[in-house]
Amino acid sequence: MRIGCGIVALLAATFATGAAPPVPGGAPPPPAEAPARPLSVNPPSDAAIQRRIEDILSALGGMEVEVEVRSGIVRLVGDADSLTARDQASDLAGRVEGVVLVRNELHVTSDVRGRLGPTWAKVKGHVARALGFVPVLAVALAALIAFAGLALAAGRWERPFKRLGLSELAVKALRIALQAILLVVGIVVALDILGLVAFVGTVVGTLGLFGVVLGIALRDVIANYLPGIMLGLNPPFAPGDHVRIGKHLGRVVRVTARETILVEYDGQHLRIPNVSLLQEPIVNFQRHRERRLQVPLTLALSADLRRVQRVGRETLLSVPGILREPLPFMRVLTIEADYVQVAFFAWADQRAGPFPDLESRARQAVKEALLAADVPFPMQEIAVHRAEAAGSLDEEEPDEGEETLLEAHLREEQAAPGERDLLREGRSHPRT
C-alpha cells in the first residue's frame, strides 16, 4: 500500500513540472539550439552599416553594387565579374558589425567589355610598373654587356700569357677559365642590380647539386679526359720521341683527349688510355741528346782485365757515334770459379743514328777486337772464326731499312685525320 502511494506521488510531481519521464535505455533529449550569431541590443545604424559595406566593396573592385540596409538586413544588387567576386562580396558584407542577414542578388555579368575591363586595368598596371623598371633594367644590362666585353677581350689576350712561357693548350685553358669567371661575375652583378640575389643563390645551389650528381655519373669519362689535358699542359714527350710506357716500346704519334697513340718497333699501332699513363712509368729516350749504352761480356777467369779494359775502350772510341767525353769505362760485375763477367759503358750521340743500331755495332766491335787480341773466353772454340770476323764492321753498312720503315709508319699515322694532337698545342721539350 505504501509503495503504491509513493509511485502515484512521483508521477504527479513529474506531470506537474512538465518534464517527460526518462525512458530506460533511451537517448537523452537534445539541447535547445543556440543562435548562430547573437543579435545586439544596440546595433549600429543602418546608414553606418551601408557606408561601411560600400567602402569595403569599392576598395575590393570588380563589381558594381548597390547596397540597401533595413533593420540590419543587407541587400546587394548589381553585377559581379565572377562567381568568386559575388561570393566574396556576400562574405565581407556578412562580417560587418550589426548585419543580421545578407541577401545577395548580384548577377555575374556576361558582357565582354565588363569582363575585359578589370583585366585591361591589370595589364595597364603591369605595363606602368614595367616602364618604371626600365632604367634599372638598362643599368643591369649595361653592366652585363661591360663584363661580356671584358670576357671577349680576355679571350684575345696573348702577350700576358706568352710572357709566362706557357704552352698553347695551357693558354687556351686559362683564357676559357678567365672568360667564364668574367661572365659569371657580370651575371651576378646584373641580377644584384635587379634585386634577384636570392634567386641567384637558389640557382647556384641547384647547379651545385646537379654538378655533384653529374660528376658522379661521369667519373669514368672525366678519368679518361683529365689525364689527356694534363699531358697536353705538361707533356713528358714530343711527337716522334722514342719512349717506353710500362712494357711498351715505340715512337709517339700523338696524344688525344682520351688516349696516347704509339707506333711500336714492330710496326704495330698501339693506343694506350691516358688514365694508364698516370699509373705507368714513362721513359723518354730522346729527352736528352746523350744516352749511355752497355756492352756485357763473359770472359775466362784467366783473362787480363787491364788489357781487356784498354782494348775495349780503344775499340769503343773508334765506333762512329760514341762520345769521347766522358770516356768509355769497364766494370767487373761478377767473378765466379771459371769465368768473370764484365761490362763496358759508353755514352752515345743519339743524333748519329738509331740507338739500337749504334749499340749493336758497339757490341760487335768490342767482341771482335777482343777475339783479335786473343783474350780468352769461356768457350775457346769461337776463336777459330776471328779471321773471318775481322774487318766485317768496316765493310758492312748499318742496316737502316727498319728505321726507315718505322719513320714511314710514323709519318703516315701523324698525317692521318683524327682527333686534335694535344702535344702539337703544347710546348715541346727542347733537345739538348
Q: Is 396 a residue whose pLDDT tops 50?
A: no
The predicted pLDDT at position 313 comes to: 93
- Among 58-62, 130-134, 223-227, 295-299, which stretch is predicted with the lowest mean pLDDT? 223-227
Query: Domain containing 90 — which CATH number?
Result: 3.30.1340.30
Give residues with Cβ within 8 angstroms of 403, minimum separation 6: 353, 354, 357
Q: What's residue 370's pLDDT? A: 93
Amino acid at 309: Q
pLDDT of residue 316: 93
What is the model's pLDDT at position 328? 92
Domain identity same for 161 and 70? no
Q: Kindly report the average pLDDT of the chain as a whole number.
A: 74
- Are 210 and 133 found together in one domain? yes
The answer to which of 54-58, 181-185, 387-391 has the lowest mean pLDDT is 387-391
pLDDT tier at 32, thresholds 50, 70, 90? very low
Does 400 map to a domain? no
For residue 18, give the 3-state DSSP assignment.
coil
pLDDT band (50, 70, 90) for residue 312: very high
- Residue 430's pLDDT is 41
Contact 299, 342 (CB under 8 A): yes
Whether 208 and 234 map to the same domain: the answer is: no
**Residue 45 or 220, more confident:** 45
pLDDT for 291 beyond 70: yes
72 or 424: which carries more pLDDT confidence?
Answer: 72
Position 173, amino acid? A
Mean pLDDT to the nearest integer, 349-362: 84
Domain range spanning residue 344?
290-394
Torsion over CA: 126, 131, 133, 134 (sign): positive
> Average of pLDDT values for 367-393?
67
Tally of domains within the chain: 4
Bridge pairing between strands 248-255 and 73-80:
unpaired
29 falls within a domain: no
Residues 302 and 322 in one domain: yes
Does 317 share its domain with 256? no
For position 415, which CATH number holds? 2.30.30.60
Same domain flag for 270 and 306? no
Q: What is the pLDDT of residue 417?
A: 63
- Is pLDDT at 366 greater than 90 in this prediction? yes
| Domain co-membership, 104 together with 137 | no
Per-residue pLDDT tens over the stretch 419-428? 666 666 554 4
Cell 641567384 appears where? Answer: 200
Higher pLDDT pick, 29 / 102:
102
Q: Cell numbers at residue 213, please?
A: 650528381
Q: Is 40 inside any structural domain?
A: no
